[in-house]
């Protein structure tokens, strides 16, 4: 039950971040537009989608693409397939459980657990043949730096 609540909280955080991103972009365009045009006519429609600019739509598509990439990572895949779209994040993790960040946006993350293919003397060695056991839903979080 706690895992369900945690994933829901991550989804809410992601949606909130996207909304803030769009609001910030909209504010930037309004500030830029106000210096060129002194008219402050309000949109005729109260529908939020009616005020999206082409840039807003492009940003939403970009985020959507990254989220779809994250959702292609499935249990049963080898670790090497994960490396095509994700890289490990900083911090202390074990070989069997790690957090990965999108190569295209380091704020979009997934937590992955592995079944180890072999045991190695170096516990930090990431065997490309390790098998993914679980993958969290993608979520949004600030970067962690070592």
- pLDDT tens digit sequence for 48-74: 656 788 888 899 999 999 999 999 999
Percent of all residues in the chain with a pLDDT value above 90, rounded to a whole number = 46
51 versus 126: the higher-pLDDT residue is: 126
pTM surpassing 0.75?
no
The mean predicted confidence, pLDDT, of the chain is 78
Tokens of 19: 């909304």
Domain boundaries, the chain: 2-37+50-140
DSSP structural state of residue 51: G
C-alpha dist (Å) from residue 10 to 14, 87, 96, 108: 6, 20, 22, 10
* Distance from C-alpha of 23 to C-alpha of 12, rounded to nearest angstrom: 16
Per-residue pLDDT band for 36 (boundaries 50, 70, 90) equals very low
Pairing assessment for the beta strands 86-88 and 139-140 based on DSSP bridges: unpaired
């Amino acid at each position: 039950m706690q895992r369900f609540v945690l994933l829901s909280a991550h989804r809410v955080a992601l949606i909130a971040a996207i909304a803030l991103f769009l609001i910030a972009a909209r504010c930037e365009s309004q500030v830029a537009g106000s210096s060129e045009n002194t008219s402050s006519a309000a949109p005729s429609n109260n529908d939020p989608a009616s005020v999206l600019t082409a840039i807003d739509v492009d940003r939403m598509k970009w985020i959507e693409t990254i989220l779809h990439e994250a959702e292609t990572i499935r249990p049963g895949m080898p670790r090497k397939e994960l490396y095509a779209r994700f890289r490990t994040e900083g911090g202390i993790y074990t070989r069997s459980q790690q957090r990965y960040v999108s190569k295209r946006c380091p704020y979009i993350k997934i937590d992955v657990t592995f079944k180890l293919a072999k045991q190695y003397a170096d516990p930090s060695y990431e065997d490309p043949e390790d098998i993914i056991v679980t993958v969290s839903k993608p979520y949004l979080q600030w970067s962690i730096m070592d």
